[in-house]
Structure 1
């Protein structure tokens, strides 16, 4: 079969395949069950295959590449404009096949198994932290109904719980004390799981070359460094640092027309988790910038005075993202003497 390019609409059990030949004429329209996928493509001559980036796309991308095919992943929002008529599996596969042929199309890098392992660690940790926060808020809310108010910090709640359980004069019933003790055990269990994942992330940060280089940047610690490695790999899917910063949603949105340039706030596109980590790290650097006299700290102080601290933190997060791209894509160490104010970055 003379197939030049294929688009696959992925699913759980049934996959729709659409292929065209060298004359761009459809020559393959087929449904495949999950168990038939690898056998079918093993017998097919090597060709370009387009997949819509989804939860299983990286797995199928790796498996199809092992069979000698060239695989490209496309973000769903870039496929949608090519869907003709009503939405169904066949039209989606045809749209993917068309989209992957576009010379200016932006593709998603296929993650390795190691990247997915690390990303899974971060996702589980993030969910556990959210559950811990919910648990702490539930405890505070229930205590407030009994007239007991505990400070907002998690550490304050941890220290207060044993005393509240032992205090016989706080008018808590034995039934509620039993419930509160169970909530305390839940909180301790979540703490232990988060600590265990923190140790795993720290070990990865100490052994991965890319993560070790990223930690040289002020504002990037083990969690942010490993999250970046799991999210962008070597960063070579981006042509320059600004592209990676834009992918993270750290560059201005734009709404321009008729020759009138109108820039908005940051676009907030891409991975919200990575963007949040970079901004929190930038806030930590900004907090101590007043105690230092290096060029970066002076620039941060000037910017926060001229605009505000939030803008300064986002600007530094943008700058750190560009530097991170340079360290990952070029395999170089961080060089503070080349660090310049935003807009004059030697890394972009």
Structure 2
């Protein structure tokens, strides 16, 4: 007889449910959400566990790695599928969620989620921290602009390094406004230093990573995009086809079909938002700022002329995901193609 376990993980405690091959509940328990406690609890069951299911959450990667290292068959499953099964329970409790996860493990109705390596998780945390600082800086700058507008002062569009200098120049004759913006400018100065430090960490990592340097040979792809893609994909061999990467990152249209209804909507926005945003920004850079000819840019400009720049950015971002994966898998640099204007091949 084979047995299957479901673990409903919360911050402090994890509910455990074990079922047999017929779906009968064999054992239920609770343990602290710590690797050592869960390993002890599962080993004390003394049952041949075929699969142990954990729903994807912030603690899953840490617990999954420890359980696998202890020789336990832990699997991380897709959150939306887990939620669909849990909704069949009349009451939402940790105990019922663990039961639902155990039944999912038994039936095999789940999609296993790839748990990234610890190094990739750390890289992604670095990028998320940098983006958070950048977003908060932008929010504070907007507050400063609003305060100045209330006083009839128009800031214009100074660069981030000269932002504080320009604000102080404008508020010199109004001490009341200066008292309001000075604390915000002090916070901005600290955040600007922190942003520079986080950016330097990214650049240091990319400088040592051969894969990232190769991905940066693509026009529009900089250190942030290269590292975001590297940290999100982790292993290129887990995708059977390069075109699957676009769907994995939520850059393909969502579709709803039922009977005579067949609607193709906007992009699904599934998967990692950080990598998707980085690819979109890289596409914008390629289409708007890049001056060097490439077949990819010519293709994107053609789409922009017929369907608009917004759709072109999404299409180029999806194409970038495919190209970056293929370059990584094949170990080659970007091939620029031939400029139809002179027929010369542009070296990568």
**2:80 maps to what in 1?**
77
Q: Does structure 1 residue 255 correspond to structure 2 residue 256?
A: yes
User: Could you give the per-residue CA deviations for residues 274-294 of structure 1, whole angstroms, max 9, x where no partner exists?
Assistant: 2111111101101146x4443
Q: Any unmatched runs of 5+ in structure 1? A: 340-348
- 2:76 touches 2:113 (CA, 8 Å); kept in 1? yes
Give TM-score scaled by structure 2 length: 0.86
User: Could you say what the CA RMSD is over the residues aligned between the two structures, in angstroms?
Assistant: 2.5
Aligned partners of 1:338 and 1:47: how far apart in 2?
51
Give the Cα–Cα distance (whole angstroms) in 2 for the partners of residues 236 and 259 of structure 1: 38
- Does 2:53 match 1:54? no
Displacement of 1:205? 1.2
Show structure 1 runs of 4+ deviating over 4 A: 42-46, 101-104
Cα distance, 1:27–1:317 mapped onto 2, change above 3 Å: same
- Contact (CA 8 Å) 1:46, 1:68: kept in 2 or not? no
Are 2:129 and 1:124 aligned?
Answer: yes
Cα distance in 2, alignment partners of residues 24 and 326 from structure 1: 43
The whole-number CA distance in structure 2 between the counterparts of 1:48 and 1:209 is 37
CA 1:212–1:20 in structure 2 vs 1: closer, same or farther (change >3 Å)?
A: farther
Deviation per residue, 1:251-305 (Å, 9 max, x gap): 011122226543222122222222111111101101146x444322322222111
Do residues 26 (structure 1) and 29 (structure 2) align?
A: no
Flag structure 2 segments of 5+ consecutive residues without an equivalent.
339-348
2:75, 2:314 → 1: CA distance? 32
Conserved in 1, the CA contact under 8 Å of 2:18 and 2:27? Answer: yes
Quick check: 1:210–1:327 contact (8 Å CA) kept in 2?
no
Q: State how far apart, in whole Å, the 2-side matches of 1:15 and 1:79 are.
A: 16
Larger mean CA deviation between 226-235 and 43-52 belongs to 43-52
Mapping 1:239-278, distance limit 5 Å? 239-258=240-259, 261-278=262-279
Residues 250, 317 of structure 1: 8 Å contact kept: yes
Deviations, residues 283-328 of structure 1 (Å, cap 9, x unaligned): 1101146x44432232222211111111111111001112233344
Cα distance change on mapping 1:190 and 1:229 into 2, 3 Å: same
Further displaced range: 116-125 or 146-155:
146-155
Q: Distance in 1 between matches of 2:109 and 2:94?
A: 25
